[in-house]
Structure 1
Amino acid sequence: MTRAQQIGVVIGLVVVAALTWLRANDPEPLKIAREATFDQYQRWAPRAFEPMPVRVVDIDEASLRQFGQWPWPRDRLAALVDALAQMGASSIAFDILFAEPDRLSPRNVVRNVAGIDPGLLRQLPDNDELFAGSIVGNPVVLGFGLSNQGTHKPQVKAGFAFTGESPLAAPPHMRAATPLRPQLEANAAGIGHISLNPRKSSAVVRSVPLLVSDGEQLYPSLALEALRVAQGASTYLVLGAPNTPGTITAVKIGDFVVPTTAAGELWLYVSRDRAERYVSASDILAPGGPSAAVKAAIEDSIVFIGTSAAGLQDIRTTALGQNVPGVSLHAQIVEQILSGRFLSRPDWADGLEILSVAILSGLLVVLTIFVSPAIALAAGLLLTVCALVASWLAFSVEGLLFDPLAPLAAGTVTHFAATSFRFLVTDRERREIRRAFGQYLSPTLLYRIEHTRNALRLGGDDRELTVMFVDVRNFTTMSERLSPTALVGFLNTLLDALSRHVIANEGTLDKFIGDSIMAFWNAPLDVPDHCAKAVRAALAMRETLAELNARDAFGFGPEHKIAIGIGIHTGLACVGNMGAETRFNYSAVGDTVNVTARIESACKEVGFDILVSADAAKALTGHALLDAGALALRGKSDRTNVCAVIGDGQVAAFQEFAELQAIHARLVEALRSRSAASRKLASAAKFTAARLPVQLHEFYDRIWRRSGHFTMDEAGNGQLRQATDPGGSEMTSF
């Protein structure tokens, strides 16, 4: 592990720790995002509406038009209770507060009239007494609101039994309650709180407290009381977690068990608002009595009385984004309990999400720093998809609520931080390598350098190289007749086309020297079969030059063909960064480089375009090669044996090459023995070579012209060499 990677891991772990701490503290933005996710799940798969014995008697706009504005006198509410009881409602729950006397009661209307006889006053009807009388003996549940003022506590009409530790500290705390009219409170069969989301800032009702507590007593919600009264139950059984004080797991009401949060809240799983859920109060109090359909809807149903009239401002927002009357949510609570379709967020969900943040973020740090940001991104996306799918399946199949956004957001932040650090610090060395070598190496070789630790050591390094020199023939003559601009254009076209083959065959472009190219293989990294790849590049250059000449790419006319010479040699050389501290080149130096340059120059004397040394030829198994003799190179005491590269393995498999190879072997033997048959064999070889896709006529023409001029070797050992030709260059010797 490099120091940069160590620093990256430390910084990454700090980010992971910060994100894990942030999720553990669960700030408000994370809660909002999580709740919005759960809302979206409900929008995709809301609870299906099923016909249930639950109805809402709605004091709607039609009822207000028929019976006048709200509040109605309580004798009308008494008539409503009597009518519902006669139709067989199993319980009647009011989502209405009765905290003050009925101001429309006749007794209250005339109470302040001057001179009124007190006896007469007592004879006037009191609507509160009428309403209280209608409640007696009927399954009526009244509601109370939570208050921060006063000390009033409502009556508790049911008993509470506990399992496990005391749950009194678990539900939302109730300081006080809005007082009910005493006679109404005394006569009601049940009393429950009507608060849907007390002390919650969100306008969306997502969970509702089934119980509230003053620290000494539990108080049920309106919906629970309506369900209890409908069943005729007398006691609630509150189930707590073993060995965990102040925790609620479920509430049992008669035949129904309702799973809750630790605070005794129910996650609302709402269905879309449906007209079938509502019965207008005007239809109940119709002058001719309710219709048969209305009676059937009310019979044996749990009835909630409330209002949907816009002016009465009892409108709430559900997770589905619908604005509905608050009374309908009480009805949906009972529907949800009757259907058994619950949502649950397990107590260990927070722990699982915190752990997933730590694990996912840590994994992305490791992948980004040590492997690749792209792979880390792919892994992060895969894990994100898995988290989203798992969260959705948990909701849709089991009704479990798991937050996929916390690990997703943490993974995004971690990946961004780790990628930024890697780009700024860890990858700086790779970028420097790419800038230095991007123009000289193949992408494959450059990738290996970037991802191989200590692959590139700056400075001199002795290693076996295959070196190549490429030179344009007759360049001096050509440059005399071309303008500088035309000459540069010609060189750019030619050298660009030829150098591409060096890169494509994993070679390193060393430099351009005027009209020449120097390249080498097997540095800065090991390249398997480097000699064969160099020859492959040379053969590709031969084909590319033929194509350029055929289409007159240089604009010199079809009669002016460009020719090149290529020399290749394998041997030990010193390779590394050469030059000054502030300006250097990656290059190779040594005798191997000098020999290669002279082999390339000898292509003119030999009359062939690609020559390789005997050392390089040893590694070229399967190639089509011919012995080109021994070169007397300047500065070398011994001659250097070279071979002409006719082609690759495909050419070596030609029948014509086999015939040429046999004739050439006899020709070499004849030249070495000064046989008179050498000229005839040279002509025969030239004739046979004409059937191959390689130009060999100049090669054999030179052998034919010089085959009759032999002298003894200066060493006097009987070895033969050719005499110098008129140009003064030493010939090859066989």
Structure 2
Amino acid sequence: MTRTQLFGVIVGLVIVAALTTLRASDPPLLRLARDLTFDEYQRLAPRSFENVPVRVVDIDEASLSEFGQWPWPRDRIAALVDRLSELGAAVIAFDILFSEPDRLSPRSVMRDVAGVDPDLLGLLPDNDEIFARSIADRPVVLGFGLSNAGDYRPPVKAGFAFTGESPFDAPPRLTAATPLRSQLETSAAGLGHISLNPGSRSAVVRAVPLLLSDGGQLYPNLAIEALRVAQGVSTYVIAGAPDIPDTITLIKVGAFVVPVTATGELWLYVSPDRAERYVSAGQVLAPAGASSETRAAIEGSIVFVGTSAAGLQDIRTTALGHNVPGVSLHAQTVEQVLSGRFLSRPDWADGLEILAIAVAGILLVLLTTFVSPAVALGCGLMITALALVASWSAFLYGGLLLDPLAPILAGSITHFAATAYRFLVIDRERRVVRRAFGQYLSPSLLYRIEHTQDALRLGGDDRELTIMFVDVRNFTEMSERLTPGEVVRFLNTLLDALSRHVIANEGTLDKFIGDSIMAFWNAPVDVADHTGKAVRAALAMRETLARLNESDAFGFGSKQTVAIGVGIHTGVACVGNMGAEMHFNYSAVGDAVNVAARIEAACKDVGFDILISDTAAKAAGRCALLEAGSLGLKGKSTRTQVFAVVGDERVAASPEFSELQHLHEQLIGSLRLRFRPRREIVNAAKLKASALCGGLSDFYRRITRRAEHFAGEQMAVENEGRSAE
């Protein structure tokens, strides 16, 4: 890992930590985005309407047109209760506030008339008393609202049993309520608050608080109070989380268990508004009596009485984006409980989403820094798809609300930041490397040097290299017959074709010197089997040159063919960036480089196109090699043994080469003893050689004239012995 990469990882992790902390703090904007995501889920798969025994008796426009404007006198509300009771309603719950005296009551009207006898007032009917008598001993639940003034608390008609820690500080706070008429409050079987989203700034009702608390007493919602009265039970069971105070996990109402949030809210799983849910109040109060369809809808049902009439300001917005009467949301709350179809956001959801942001962010930072932005983008898209599929599946099949948006958004920001850093800093350094080495290295080596620290440091290192020199034979004579433009075209064609094999075998092109190529292996990064790869590159050059000559790629016709000499040596050289700080070349210098150049020059004398030193021969693996003698190279005090490269491992394993090698050893044995080899052995070697490699013919024609190259070592030993004497 380079320092730049390390700094990039640190910057990326800081961004991930910041995003994780931001999600943990859960700012309003993230909450809104999460809510909108869950709204979209409900729009894609809303709760289907089920014909459970829950109905809304709607004081709609038709009812007001027939029975007069709102508010109705409470003797008419009493008549509505009487009629619903006759039709068999299990519970009648009013989403209407009865906090003020009925101003349409005869007693109230006459009280404002001057000169009326007070005794006479006592004989006049009072609509509140009529309404109170109507609801007495009947399953009627009245609603109360919240107030910002006073300290009134409504009486609680039910008891509460608790499991776990105290839940009194968990629900939303009730500071004061709007007082009900005392006779109505006393006569009602149940009282429940009608607030749907107290304290929420959003107009969308997504969750309904089933309980409110003043710190010492709990107050039920209208919906669950109606459900309690319908079952005839007297107590709610509130379950809290073990060892976690101020937390509610579920509410048990009779036979029904309702999962809730930690604050006692029920996530609304909304179904589209349906006409089957409503019964017009005018149909219930019809003078001729209710129809059979109305009786069937009301009988045995939990009935909520409310209004959808325009101007009465009881219209709410659901997660589906629909505007519906507020009373229908109370009804839908009970529908959810009866059908058992709930939505829930588990306690571990926040932790899972925070963990997902951290893990995905770290993964994207590492992939972007060490692999590539494209791979990181692919993984990011996979993470996005996985998050969406997992979140949608959890909602569809388990009713779980898991937010995919926060991890996706955090991952996108992390990937963008890490990619920008890589492009501006890390890849800038690698682009410099590519400009310096792109024409001289294979893609695999280039990738490795890009990821090597201090790749372009000025200076050199001593390391074992395999060095190759390639030279065109008789180039001076050739260039005399060609125009300068033809010489350039010839060199471009030849050098391009030959240098490709250096790159393909993970070599480094050092330089072009006129008609020559210098290349080396095992730098700037380690290359396994570097000598073997250099030899294979040379053999590939031989084959390529043969094809170029056969196809007349140089335009010389059949009169002239192009030949090359290749010298290879393995030894220690100094390799690195050499030159000035602002302008340098990556090259190798040293005795090993000189030896390789001298071996290439010796190809002319030996009569063969590819020669390698003995050190290269030992490291070349199982290639087909023939001893070519010991050469006295210029500038070297000792002779250098060289070998002719006949072919690769496949050739070395062939029976033909084994036979040639046997004949060759006999020849070398005779030459080493300073005997002239028998003619039949030379002819047999030439015959075998022509079948394996055409270039060996000239090699064997010259071999008898090069006896000193094979006896040279023995002569050197004898000379040293005489000097000692």
Q: Same fold (TM over 0.5)?
A: yes
- Contact residue 449 and residue 456 of structure 1 kept, 8 A: no
Partner letter of residue 641 of structure 1? Q
Q: Structure 1 residue 300 and structure 2 residue 300: aligned? A: yes
> Residue 646 of structure 1 contacts residue 694 of structure 1 at CA under 8 Å; is this kept in 2?
no
In 2, the alpha carbon distance for the partners of 1:476 and 1:671 equals: 34
Q: Secondary structure at the residue paired with 2:462?
A: strand
* Residues 221-232 of structure 1 mapped to structure 2, 5 A cutoff: 221-232=221-232
Of stretches 622-631 and 234-243 in structure 1, the one that deviates more from structure 2 is: 234-243
Cα distance in 2 for residues equivalent to 1:275 and 1:554: 90
Aligned to 1:92: 92
In structure 2, what is the equivalent of residue 81 of structure 1? Answer: 81
Give deviations 1:227-247, integer Å, cap 9, x for gaps: 222223334444445665544
The one-letter code of the counterpart of 2:280 is S
Per the alignment, do residues 446 and 109 of structure 1 end up closer, same or farther by CA in structure 2, a change over 3 Å counting? Answer: same
Q: Distance in 1 between matches of 2:553 and 2:438?
A: 27
Counterpart in the other structure of 2:589: 589
* Partners of 1:712 and 1:506 in 2: CA distance: 34
Q: How does 1:122-133 map to 2 (within 5 A)?
A: 127-133=127-133
C-alpha distance 368-701 of structure 1, shift in aligned 2 (>3 A) = same
Partner of 1:27: 27
Number of equivalenced pairs: 718
Summarize the alignment of residues 290-689 of structure 1 with structure 2, pairs less than 5 Å apart: 290-310=290-310, 312-347=312-347, 349-351=349-351, 353-354=353-354, 357-358=357-358, 361=361, 391=391, 395=395, 399-418=399-418, 420-421=420-421, 432-451=432-451, 459-557=459-557, 559-668=559-668, 682-689=682-689
Give the secondary structure class of the aligned counterpart of 1:587.
strand
Partners of 1:325 and 1:657 lie apart in 2 by 98
Q: CA deviation at 1:104?
A: 5.6
**Contact 1:66/1:282 (8 A) holds in 2:** yes
Mean Cα deviation higher: 535-544 or 383-392 = 383-392
- String of CA shifts for 1:432-490, please: whole Å, max 9, x gaps: 54544343333333444455678997633333321101122333334344444443343
Q: Could you tell me whether the CA contact under 8 Å between 2:192 and 2:223 is conserved in 1?
A: yes
Q: 5+ residue gaps in structure 2?
A: 718-725
Deviation, 1:395, is 4.7
Measured in 2, the distance between the counterparts of 1:91 and 1:542 equals 100
Q: Deviations over 1:597-641 (max 9, x none)?
A: 122223233333222223322333432233334434333344433
Pairing of 1:124-143 with structure 2 (within 5 A) = 127-143=127-143
Question: What's the CA shift string for 1:202-239, capped at 9, x where partnerless?
Answer: 22212111122344543322112212222233344444
Separation in 1, partners of 2:634, 2:161 = 111
Cα displacement (A) at 1:11: 4.2
Report the Cα distance in structure 1 between the residues aligned to 2:74 and 2:555, rounded to whole angstroms.
108
Deviation sequence 1:31-82 (CA, Å, 0-9, x none): 1122233334444554454332211122345545555554445444333222
- Cα distance in structure 2, aligned partners of 1:628 and 1:716: 15
Counterpart AA for 2:260: T
Q: Which amino acid aligns with 1:569?
A: H
Q: 1:638 & 1:251 partners in 2: Cα distance?
A: 99
SS at match of 1:176: coil
Q: Deviation digits for residues 636-666 of structure 1, max 9, x if unmatched?
A: 3444333322211222344444444444445
Pair 1:368–1:621, CA change in 2 (3 A): closer
Once residues 156 and 7 of structure 1 are traced to their aligned partners in structure 2, the CA distance between those partners, rounded to angstroms, is 64
Which deviates more from structure 2 when the two are superposed, residues 507-516 or residues 255-264?
255-264
Tell me if structure 1 keeps the 8 A contact 2:2–2:451: no
Q: Tell me what 2:721 maps to.
A: none
Q: Distance in 2 between matches of 1:716 and 1:128?
A: 136
- Cα 1:142–1:718 shift into 2, 3 Å: closer
Paired residues of 2:671 and 2:711 also in contact (CA < 8 A) = no
AA paired with 2:490? F
Question: Take 1:243 and 1:617, find their aligned partners in 2: how far apart are those partners?
Answer: 78
Partner secondary structure for residue 506 of structure 1: coil
Secondary structure in 2 aligned to 1:488? Answer: helix
1:146 matched to which residue of 2?
Answer: 146
Say what the alpha-carbon RMSD is for the aligned residues. 4.1
The 5 A counterparts of 1:125-274 are: 127-162=127-162, 167-240=167-240, 246-274=246-274
Cα distance change on mapping 1:507 and 1:718 into 2, 3 Å: closer
Give a deviation string over 1:397-443, Cα, whole Å, max 9, x none: 55444444444444444454455555555676655545443433333
Partner of 2:723: none
Contact 1:624 1:652 in 2 (8 A): yes
1:398, 1:113 → 2: CA distance?
Answer: 64
* Separation (CA, whole Å) in 1 of partners of 2:478 and 2:434: 36
Q: Which amino acid aligns with 1:136?
A: A
Secondary structure in structure 1 of the residue aligned to 2:619: coil
Given the superposition, is the C-alpha separation of residues 685 and 356 from structure 1 closer, same or farther in structure 2, using an over 3 Å criterion? Answer: closer
Q: Is the 8 A contact 1:682 1:700 kept in 2?
A: yes
On the 8 A contact 1:682/1:703 being kept in 2, the answer is no
Q: CA deviation at 1:304?
A: 0.7
Tell me, yes or no, if the aligned pair for 1:712 and 1:718 is still in contact at 8 Å.
no
User: Once structures 1 and 2 are overlaid, which stretch shifts more, 630-639 or 351-360?
Assistant: 351-360
| 8 Å contact from structure 2 (residues 458, 578) kept in 1 | no
The letter for the 2-side match of 1:459 is G
Change in Cα spacing, 1:584 to 1:122, as seen in structure 2 (3 Å) is same
SS of equivalent residue, structure 1 residue 444: helix
Distance (whole Å) between structure 2 residues aligned to residue 236 and residue 614 of structure 1: 96
Give the match's secondary structure for 1:177: coil
Q: Partner residue of 2:52?
A: 52
Q: CA deviation at 1:498?
A: 1.6
Q: Which residue identity is paired with 1:314?
A: D
8 Å CA contact 2:456–2:577 kept in 1: the answer is no
State the match for 1:731 in structure 2.
none
SS of the residue 1:79 aligns to: helix
* Cα displacement (A) at 1:305: 1.5
Residues 11-43 of structure 1, C-alpha deviations (whole Å, 9 max, x = no match): 455444433432332210121122233334444
Instruction: Give the match for residue 727 of structure 1.
Output: none
Label 1:612 to 1:160 Cα distance change in 2 as closer, same or farther (>3 A): closer
Q: Offset of 1:510 from its aligned partner?
A: 1.2
Structure 1 distance, partners of 2:554, 2:329, is 85
Cα distance in 2 between the residues matched to 1:177 and 1:11: 54
For residues 379-401 of structure 1, give each alpha carbon's deviation from its aligned partner in whole angstroms, at most 9, with x where no partner exists: 76666666666655655555444
Structure 1 portions without partners, runs of 5+: 720-734
For 2:81, give the aligned amino acid: V
**Separation in structure 1 between the aligned mates of residue 273 and residue 401 of structure 2, nearest angstrom:** 23
Contact 1:455–1:525 (CA under 8 A) maintained in structure 2: no
Equivalent pair of 2:508/2:521 in contact (CA under 8 Å): yes
TM-score of the aligned structures, taking structure 1 as reference length: 0.84
Q: Is the 8 A contact 1:507 1:534 kept in 2?
A: yes
DSSP-derived class of the 2:523 partner: coil
Give the conservation status (yes or no) of the 8 Å contact 1:237–1:251: yes
Q: Distance in 2 between matches of 1:574 and 1:245?
A: 73
